[in-house]
Every structure is written in C-alpha cells, then in structure tokens.
Structure 1
Amino acid sequence: MMSGVLRPGQQYEGATGDQGVSYGRIKPEGVDTTHGAILYLEDIVVSFDGFKAINNLNLDISVGELRCIIGPNGAGKTTMMDVITGKTRPTSGTAFFGQTMDLTRMSEVDIAHAGIGRKFQRPTVFEQHSVFENLELAMKMDKRVKTTLFARLNSEQKDKIAAILQLIRLDEQEQRQAGLLSHGQKQWLEIGMLLIQEPQLILLDEPVAGMSDAETARTAELLNELRGKHSIMVVEHDMGFVTEIAQQGKVTVLHEGSVLAEGTMAQVQADDRVIEVYLGR
C-alpha cells in the first residue's frame, strides 16, 4: 500500500521510549499527504493472550475527511485508536501517518508532536484554571518551567485563543473556572485545547456521551464547521449524532476487530450484516 522509505530531507533520529524501547523519531517537517490520505492502517492485528482485539484491520482516511466509526462494544474501536496514538503496539501490520511516518516506530509523545490529537470520552480539563488559561496552557509553546511561568502571550497568540473561544462558543466564558462549566462545555473546551495545538488528525472518542440534546446538536455544528479544516475520526454510539455529522461521508462499521461494512450512513443502515450485529431491526 505504501513504502516506509522516507522522502528526501526527512530523517529518523534515535529516541528511547518507555521501558527502554527504542523508537524512531521523525523530525517535525510536516506530514507527506501527496497521495491524498493522512492515515493508513493495513492488516493490523492486536493480540492479547491469544485474543485478537484487532483482526487484520484495513482502514484509510483522506485529508480533511470526517470519518465516523461505529460498532458494538468490543468491536476494537478503542484499541484501534490506541494503535494510532502509540499507546498499544500492534502484533503485526502497518500504520502510517501520511506516506512516511511509521506510527509503529514512534512513541506516544512523538506521535502527538507529529500532529495526531486524541480526546477521550471523559473530559480532562484543568478545573481550577479559567477557560482562557486552559487554552493558554494547551497552546504550542516552550513548556520549560521558567519559560512557562514568565512567558507573556503575544498578540497573535491572543488572537488565536480568541478565535478558538468563538468557535467552541465559550467566548463569553473565558474567565470562568473550567470546573464550573457544564459537561458539554467541558467537552467543547477540551476540543478547543486540541485545536489550538493545530493537529492534522483528531481522534474523538464518544464526544457526545452524557450531553443534553442541545449540547449534542451544538457539538454536531462544531464538527461540521471543522470538516475539511482537519482530518477527524469520530467513534460514537449515538446514531442520531452520527447521522448529523456523517452527511455523505463514509461511515465505517467495526465488528470483532475488523471492518464489517463501510459506506454512507444510509448504506450501512441498510446492510443486513450491520443490522444483525449492531443496529437491530
């Protein structure tokens, strides 16, 4: 499907990850998406004590695509995201970010720096800090202690935070303590904290779980606004929400660690295999 050969000017340098495992670290020179895809998973297998949580999984996501991933519990959705972000190493198979970044050879930190951001189901914000301070802390900048303590934001950085606040509809809450936000607002803030780091691929794990109907509708609006500006993978069980954001894009159905079906929402809803194992009649 693709070559692991690096393009001219992009080189691996040695790095040591957790437990002394050596990974390849790619210098941050951008993601090569000349073939139109930002993520390739090919024949991925993840085996835990003989149980295959992922079984010959093949998946690719195009640049700027919003892809919805659905499927029953235990289908391998979370494990797939763990592989993409470096939390879990596949037993076999290949995983590439763009044409040249081999995710199986990179640490979690390197993958995040390369441009893959992940939001877990439960929001994790700095609850004792204001909304503005949360975005400031998440912004790409020198995180050395001395620099962080004494750095002042320049006008460009302030404008960037203001734009994110408006996008996530928290511009009137910027001085509010994050711990006082509603569940949905915390979810939006965490999405904003991802966006301010300028990821090229965003992974969202059940972003509307626990939200009110109004918050769910607003989250659908937000993701539709992000469509085309970022490549986004959304794992979700709320079929009404998926319908709102899938539009004519692809929906991938996972079952027993592999792709069961793929197509538009209407196509997968009409698929007898999907009805049998997930949607019901």
Structure 2
Amino acid sequence: MMNAINHVGASSPNTQGLKVNASHGIILYVEAVSVSFDGFKALNDLSLYINDGELRCLIGANGAGKTTLMDVITGKTRPDYGAVSFGQSIDLLEMDESSIAQAGIARKFQKPTVFEQHTVFENLELAMSRQKGVISTLFARLNSSERDLIAETLKTIGLHNHHRMPAGRLSHGQKQWLEIGMLLIAQPRLLLVDEPVAGMTAQETEKTAELLTSLAGERSVVVVEHDMAFVRSIARKVTVLHQGSVLAEGSMSEVQSNPDVIEVYLGES
C-alpha cells in the first residue's frame, strides 16, 4: 500500500473531516513493520490486513509481539521500518495517538478504567464530552441525538438497567462492558480490545463473546486474547504471532491443525 519507511517522528495533522476509505474491503494495512528495543526485535517484518467489518483474533505466547503491534497501530510506538495505514487514505505513521483516535481507531486495554464515583450514564456522558473536545462537565445539556446515542450504547453493552448505578458498584465484567461503551460513544471504525475476559466469570465471558460478536459488521474488531476457549467461541479468523511475525492465519480449525502452531504455541494437546 505504501513504501517502506524509516520513521523517526510523527506530526499532528488536523483530523477534522478525515474519512477512512475502505472501498477495497480492507480497513487496516500493516506492511513489513519492524520494531526493535535494545536489539530485541519485537516485530520482525510483520504484515497484517484487517477487513472492513470483520472480527479478528490475535493469539500468541507472551513476547510474540501482540502488544507492540497494538502500540504501533495506535501511535504509541513508532516502527523502525514499514507502513501502517487506515484504509487507503490515512497514513497512521504521520499521526499522533490523539489524531489516530479521532480518525476512528479506539483501543481498550486489559484493565478497565472508568469513573467509579459517577453513574454508568455519567461515564458515557463524560466520554461524549471528551469526544466533543470540550471541558468535561456533568452540567452540560445533552441534545436528543446525544441522549439517543447513550441509550443505544447502554442497550448494546447490556447496562441499560444499571444506568443510575455508580460505576464502582459494577462487577469486573460490567466495568469492562462500560469501558467498551465509552469507546463506542466515539463511533470508531476499528476497535482494538486487549484480553477482554481476563478475571471474568463464565457468565460474563459468555456475554462478552456476544457483545464483541455483535459489534463486528458496522465496525472492525481486533481481539487479543489468551483464553483459547473464548477465542474458539468468537473466532471467525485467527492470526497467530510468533517472535514478532505472523506464523499462521485462517479459521480456528485451520490454525489448530497447523503443525507450526502446534509446535510453538498450542502444544500437542
């Protein structure tokens, strides 16, 4: 898609009116990306393509490069070489973290970060205030479309019956769903989710699978996860990383039967 580069820094372009072009069916291009830390190659000539509207699972042992890849996509880490673009028109390596988020890429980290003293509804309202680029305030009057968006988001994340509850009283799984909702308020085209079911009960894990599956289609969802039972429950396409490169890619059954994957990650069992 783009020529390989040796990228040193990034500018902060005005993302106002910036629209992703996924007319070729691909929303994210990661091409020949390499990242080194003190001589250790965290990513090694890695290429990855995410289709518009798909749900993709990334798996791999610790140190395989999953977190570094997420960091590169979101602008936290700059690659030594390679190209990363959002659709055909947006060069992510020319943008800072804030600009990338405004362009339509949202990232959820493993540990939920919510405002525990505020209600579920207020958390979503505060997330909306951040997106509008104004000082967050609970006293700003929402218009009808904003209220409709919050109501729709509450239904999507399954917390519409808890909208008046302080976030601090939610279960761990519910806090995870609330934070996903806070990201959805910005209506991203690409959602990156890191180990969403760590520490969840079996019931919460099942509901999280339903939630993430429902989000794909309107947007693309990339899930990094170690829980293989969870991955099996949601996986449509799986990418296996190993030593900073793509080791295998395909359906869960294809990946599970791949001899290289069996040897280095899944084990003989």
Q: Give TM class, smaller chain.
A: over 0.9
RMSD: 1.7
SS in 2 for 1:160: helix
Q: What is the CA distance between 1:144 and its match in structure 2?
A: 2.6
Q: Distance in 1 between matches of 2:10 and 2:89?
A: 21
Question: In the alignment, what sits opposite 1:259?
Answer: 246
* Equivalent in 244, 247, 258 of residue 271 of structure 1: 258
* Equivalent in 2, 18, 22 of residue 33 of structure 1: 22
Q: What is the CA distance between 1:133 and its match in structure 2?
A: 0.3
Q: Look up the equivalent residue of 1:47 and give its one-letter code.
A: S
Q: Distance in 1 between matches of 2:100 and 2:86?
A: 9
SS in 2 for 1:172: helix
> Structure 2: where are the runs of 5+ without partners?
none
Q: Distance in 1 between matches of 2:133 and 2:54?
A: 31
User: Is the contact made by 1:28 and 1:113 (CA closer than 8 Å) also made in structure 2?
Assistant: no
Q: What is the CA distance between 1:118 and its match in structure 2?
A: 0.2
Q: Look up the equivalent residue of 1:279 and give its one-letter code.
A: L
Q: Distance in 1 between matches of 2:138 and 2:267?
A: 55
* Equivalent in 127, 131, 151 of residue 138 of structure 1: 127
User: Are 2:151 and 1:151 aligned?
Assistant: no
Q: Look up the equivalent residue of 1:158 and give its one-letter code.
A: R
Q: Distance in 1 between matches of 2:201 and 2:242?
A: 28
SS in 1 for 2:45: strand
Question: In the alignment, what sits opposite 2:53?
Answer: 64
Q: What is the CA distance between 1:2 and its match in structure 2?
A: 4.4
Give 4+ residue runs of structure 1 displaced > 6 Å after superposition.
none
Q: Look up the equivalent residue of 2:211 and give its one-letter code.
A: L
SS in 1 for 2:47: strand
Where in structure 2 are the equivalents of 1:190-205 lying within 5 Å?
190-205=179-194
Q: Look up the equivalent residue of 2:55 and give its one-letter code.
A: L
Q: Distance in 2 between matches of 1:244 and 1:228?
A: 17
Q: Distance in 1 between matches of 2:14 and 2:92?
A: 10
- Number of residue pairs matched? 263
Q: Distance in 2 between matches of 1:24 and 1:139?
A: 22
Q: What is the CA distance between 1:148 and its match in structure 2?
A: 3.8
Q: Distance in 2 between matches of 1:74 and 1:127?
A: 32
Question: In the alignment, what sits opposite 1:221?
Answer: 210
Question: In the alignment, what sits opposite 2:201?
Answer: 212
TM-score (norm 1): 0.90
* Equivalent in 234, 251, 262 of residue 245 of structure 1: 234
Q: Look up the equivalent residue of 2:43 and give its one-letter code.
A: I
Question: What per-residue deviation string (whole Å, max 9, x for no partner) do you get for residues 148-203 of structure 1?
Answer: 46420112111111111111111111011101110000000001111111000000
Question: What per-residue deviation string (whole Å, max 9, x for no partner) do you get for residues 70-99 of structure 1?
Answer: 000000000000000000000110000111
Between stretches 156-165 and 68-77, larger displacement belongs to 156-165
Percent identity, aligned pairs only, is 63
User: Is the contact made by 1:32 and 1:98 (CA closer than 8 Å) also made in structure 2?
Assistant: yes
User: Is the contact made by 2:29 and 2:50 (CA closer than 8 Å) also made in structure 1?
Assistant: yes
User: Is the contact made by 1:3 and 1:99 (CA closer than 8 Å) also made in structure 2?
Assistant: no
User: Is the contact made by 1:268 and 1:274 (CA closer than 8 Å) also made in structure 2?
Assistant: yes
